[in-house]
Amino acid sequence: MTEQAPVLILLFPFLSAIVVALAGIRMKGLCWPLVLLSLAGSVCASLSTLGRVLDEGTIRYHLGGWAPPIGIEFRIDGLNALVAVTVSLVALITAIYSKISVEAESKDKVSQYYAIFLLLIAGLLGMVITGDAFNLYVLLEVSALTSYALIAMGSKRATLAAFKYLIMGTIGASFYLLGVGYLYIKTGSLNMFDIHEQLVLNNLEQSPTILVAFMLITVAVWIKMAFFPLHAWLPNAYAFAPTTSSSIMGPLVTKVMIYVMIRMVLTVFGPDYAFEVLNWDNIVVWLAVIAILAGSIGALAQKDLRKMLTFLIIAEVGYMVGGVWLADETGMVGSIFHIISDAFMTLCVFLFAGIVFTKTGRRNITAVEGMFKKMPLTMVGFIVGAFSLIGIPPTAGFFSKWYLIQGGINSGNWEYVVALLISSLVNAVLFFRIIEIAYFGAKPADGHDDHHGEDHSKISEAPFTQLVPLLGTAALLVIIGIYNKDIVSIIQDFLLPFNLGAGS
């Protein structure tokens, strides 16, 4: 069975999505257990794949039995396997959380919601494990279409935000498709590894077509991951979506796109082309610095809890894009590690925001007033996530930031290091403000618009199915932090053949 594990990672959520769509209409109670079961299967499959990758090295799985480049292949190495485990775990945790909120937020449409939810996971997992550039586009379409739907199933404002996202996302997807088309014109192949071989064999480094293909694909993934000047769709889309939708998309969609960017840079175009022939590193690192600062300042300006978190996502995207374009091995390790730790810490704070919203029905930060007394365990989970976002040891966020800063120092990009530190300070201000409100109560000036102190007294600890995922994520953050050496060694083994120098 382990032979087939790579395809099972994706088949579990995919097939059960159809079952949920069909059977769920008549038997609503069936949806949630089925979702949990399939995602648990997916987690098992991805863990067993990771185990095999560690034992045997890269796994190649030929779909339809056709050897690449004739057919499509999954090609799973250390990077894919780690990201696949992250994606399936985050999905499972969010699915546990979703029980109450989905039933409350989309009463009549539980089965449709879960079907789309599972298809989104299938699309993201497919993007992560595929080794084919065009196949990635098909799954990009699946995941994009499902994200629009998951957002649009929220309130009225969510529908408008989803429409903006749809326009931006479609532009991004068509840029990607055009880029892949250009690669095909010049190489005649669609397999990522084969494209790279052909690029090197035919000496296409100076070809303007390849340059434009590279630009199109990079801009496409930047749009999809909300890299700063192209981020406008993200805050409203994630802030007004149903809470389960933002808990799944906040951590996953942008991170998977960063994986795609790393895959394109390292595997398809190759670090030599991306960092040495083009030599844009400094420009992109400066863009990342702007993105980090803009995201942090944007977050400071927000009074809406979830909207503040969405601006933090934009800052974090800046971290990872910058880390990749430092063109330094430590920076790359930091970026890849940050994909994993950021997925979990974003999940942690979004779960908290979801709990606060369901408990109080308020979006404002002041909604957390006095929560230390009323729901201490929930606050513990939140504090771990917040500490990780600030970067306090021993949480995962500290270690990934450590590698990013190391990379910045090694390559001499001091502006990046300074931006990272400023953004960490801003995160500290933001989260300690929330903790202060939760502990001491809001200052009158902060929340004069909503003073219903009475209905707060009823609030107690979050229900079991919401508390367990939050605390589980918090525990995972600490575990990832403690075992950071092991994860980093997997990433370093993956990066070894690419020969990234220290600094550009």
Closest distance of CB 297 from other proteins, Å: 21
Nearest to 143 by CA among 29, 253, 18: 253
Question: Would you say 73 or 369 has its CB closer to other proteins?
Answer: 73
Strand extents, DSSP E, 392-480: none
* C-beta separation of 440 from 369 below 8 A: no
* C-beta separation of 410 from 328 below 8 A: yes
Question: Would you say 179 or 295 has its CB closer to other proteins?
Answer: 179
In the chain, DSSP finds a helix count (H) and a strand count (E) of 20, 2
Site for other proteins in 200-219 (CB under 8 A): 202, 207-213, 215-216
Question: Would you say 29 or 65 has its CB closer to other proteins?
Answer: 65
Among 53, 153, 223, 285, binds other proteins (CB under 8 A): 153
Whole-number Cα distances in Å, 275 to 270, 278, 279, 500: 9, 6, 5, 10
Among 48, 58, 103, 109, binds other proteins (CB under 8 A): 109
Nearest to 135 by CA among 80, 190, 176: 190
Whole-number Cα distances in Å, 270 to 193, 212, 374, 497: 10, 15, 53, 11
Residue 95 found at the interface with other proteins (CB under 8 A): no
Question: Would you say 150 or 467 has its CB closer to other proteins?
Answer: 150
Binding mask 33-72 for other proteins (x = CB under 8 A): ----------------------------xxxxxx--xxxx
Question: Would you say 143 or 473 has its CB closer to other proteins?
Answer: 143
Separation between Cα atoms, residue 300 and residue 65, nearest integer Å: 53
Closest distance of CB 4 from other proteins, Å: 6
Closest distance of CB 486 from other proteins, Å: 31
Separation between Cα atoms, residue 21 and residue 18, nearest integer Å: 5
Residue 412 found at the interface with other proteins (CB under 8 A): no
Only segment of 107-115, 346-354, 410-418, 454-462 that touches other proteins (CB under 8 A):
107-115
Nearest to 17 by CA among 129, 126, 164, 173: 126
Among 13, 41, 78, 126, binds other proteins (CB under 8 A): 126
Question: Would you say 168 or 375 has its CB closer to other proteins?
Answer: 168
Radius of gyration of the chain (CA): 22
Phi-psi region of 21 (alpha: psi -120 to 50; beta: other; left: phi over 0): alpha
Is the peptide bond between 394 and the residue preceding it cis, with omega within 30 degrees of 0?
A: yes
Residue 135 found at the interface with other proteins (CB under 8 A): yes
Residue 7 found at the interface with other proteins (CB under 8 A): yes
Interface with other proteins (CB under 8 A)? 4, 7, 11, 14-15, 18-19, 21-22, 25, 61-66, 69-72, 106, 108-109, 112-113, 115-116, 119, 122-123, 126, 134-135, 138-139, 141-142, 145-146, 148-149, 152-153, 159, 182, 184-190, 198, 202, 207-213, 215-216
